Chains A and B, each alone.
Chain A
Amino acid sequence: MARVTLENLTKVFSGDRKQGSKVAVDNVSLEISSGEFVVLVGPSGCGKTTVLRMIAGLEDISGGSIRIGGRRINDIPPKDRDIAMVFQNYALYPHMTVSRNMSFGLEVRGFPKAEIARRVDEAARVLGLLHPDNLLNRRPKALSGGQRQRVALGRAMVREPQVFLFDEPLSNLDAKMRVETRAEISRLHRTVGSTMIFVTHDQTEAMTMADRIVVMSEGRVQQIGTPEDLYHQPVNRFVAGFIGSPTMNFFSGRLEKTQGSLRFVEQGEGSHAEPWAIRMNPELSARLASQADRPIVLGIRPEHLTPDSPQPGALGMMVELVEPMGAETYLFGQTAGHPCTCRITFHETKGLEGQKIHLIPNFDHLHFFNPTSGEEVSGPKIQRIKLPLPVPHKKSRDL
């Protein structure tokens, strides 16, 4: 258990003569409390893995510092940082058995034999490597992807480190194994209570596992917050588009002043149909006053659009594709100027393809972004009343 502090962490990869140097991580500051599960998420090349590798000590630090438990570790070799890492490709030693793979790190560190045996045994038991089949004496080659991943977890577990690092450990697993292993890691986190830092490009993994999510793009932190924060209050268009599936709909347009309130008018490229226009309610009009008569991007999540009868302010969408998911259905289509997705729960979706439907947005969940900077511009939201949760934190829930 230890807190991890990143201060203005920077990584510059010096390129060759043709390419200049590249800033992979740009001034990242982050405070991870002891026992917290933090997920770094972002598209590939955003620097999240580089941050993780710097914490692990596998990558030199170009600027800034990293502290683990208050101790500055910039110049401490990986083996003395008291961290364990689970790699994307498992990185199991092919020439060693499962149990040797797990015990190797302890042997190198000179642990007594009995202690090694105890820890390996315990990890094997927790991870189900003994039942239904005893895998301890197999080679990694003879294991399935999920089993290998569990061995890799075991190898990290037996070390009982202060901090666990995960580098996209689920990306090589099939969909079913991924869900299972995700739960496995969450359970592991509750059992051992260590600080965990998890890197992924999959926002679903981030949303389901994290205490806090760090969204990164182009080497910079875009937003840090709980999954709920990120989902409901994205600070910019990047975060809004990255978190949530299907992704948020964006409509570029203008806010026009009419009769004391604001009206959003959609502006699409090359559209023939009538553009969408909708009058803002007084609360939004007040918050967006500074944006009047300026270009703006309106963001609406697919579940915040509800089909209704044709009426003023309704968004007309030509349905092109219907994807039934079971409990809910995704409708994909085109508005006057933009592609649009709508997520509905009712079942009468037969014959919707090729039809025009009318959607009413939920005014409580509209997001407005500056078209050039991407910043959220609607200002601080009026605090909505939150439903009291039965328990304050998911960690305290019993297994």
Chain B
Amino acid sequence: MLLLGFGLWFALPFFWMVSTSLKPLRETMKMPPVWLPIPPQWQNYPEAMAAMGPFWLYAANSLVLASLNVVGTVLSSALVAYGFSRLDWKGRDGLFFVLLMTMMIPFPVVMVPLYGLFRELGWIGTMKPLWVPAFLAGAFNVFLLRQFFMTLPRDLTEAARMDGCSEFRIFWQIILPLARPALLTVALFQFMATWNDFLGPLIFLAREDQYTLALGLQALQSTISGTPWHHLMAASTLVVLPVVFLFFLTQKTFLRGIAATGLK
């Protein structure tokens, strides 16, 4: 009962978003609130897409960035996590601690130095700042994967070593296939993070044809005639749809991944 209550409570904002997206503008702020718009205003969706500008271009940009980030993060984090969990070297645990500490630094603190760095590299106004760092592994993902790798029996790697595998081959052919649930978890987290990222694109991108969906939503929020809430909500629904879809698709493995990384 309690869980159901919480579930409904958490679902409420989502429901409100979808509901608002189907209302005419004058009903969006009405008191008492209108829960079910009758009739639903389906035309809000094409209107919102048109109002955002090149919706499909933004979507393509988001998709490209998200894909690059997912591939980059999964590969690089897994490689680093392997080094931190399955290989023995001096100073390993100390360095891992330092890595974990980087998780405590909030993004706004590094925002300005990061901007300076990318300007030096001449990357401002390009998409590079938004995907190249993903190939350099993230602390949280490394942590997650390391914990998972440590639960894999050591015998397996040793058996592979006796079978003649090089270290990289053990990583590629033994560890990675076994870590699928954890890798998928990381991939999903990263996809969501990139897909929903607003600040990054806002800071580093200059031209409108590079904009992502998250950035595109902004166009709806700040129009001269106030905020067209029904359009904003319609566009938002469209933007979160892929994430919801992806989650349902991978739910089983994803939850297994969380359970495995959390408990064992």
Contact = CB atoms under 8 A, between A and B. Distances in A.
Contacts, number: 51
Given A85-B159, A108-B169, A94 B164 contact: no
B155 A79 contact: no
B259 interface: no
B174 A93 contact: yes
Contact of B165 (A56, A58, A79, A88): A79
Nearest to A80: B164
Given A94-B178, A95-B177, A95-B178, A104 B155 contact: no
A377 to B, nearest CB: 44
Contacts of B158: 56, 58, 85, 87, 91
B97 to A, nearest CB: 16
Nearest to B156: A91
A93 B162 contact: no
Contact of B155 (A84, A89, A108): A89
A105 interface: yes
Interface in A351-398: none
A270 B178 CA distance: 61
A56 B160 CA distance: 12
B162 A79 contact: yes
A109 interface: yes
Most buried by A among B158, B160, B178: B158
A126 B160 CA distance: 23
B164 A93 contact: no
B163 interface: yes
A129 interface: no
B164 A109 contact: yes
Given A91-B153, A93-B156, A108-B169, A84 B164 contact: no
Contacts of B128: none
A228 B229 CA distance: 91
B164 A83 contact: no
B161 A91 contact: no
B93 to A, nearest CB: 11
Nearest to B159: A91
Contacts of A90: 155
Contacts of A78: 161-162
A108 B163 contact: yes
Given A56-B158, A90-B155, A109-B164, 5 more contacts: A87-B155, A87-B158, A108-B163, A108-B164, A155-B159
7 contacts: A56-B162, A58-B162, A78-B161, A91-B158, A95-B178, A104-B163, A108-B165
Report, nearest first, the 9 A-B pairs whose CB atoms are least far apart: A105-B163, A91-B155, A79-B164, A91-B159, A108-B164, A95-B177, A87-B155, A109-B164, A85-B162
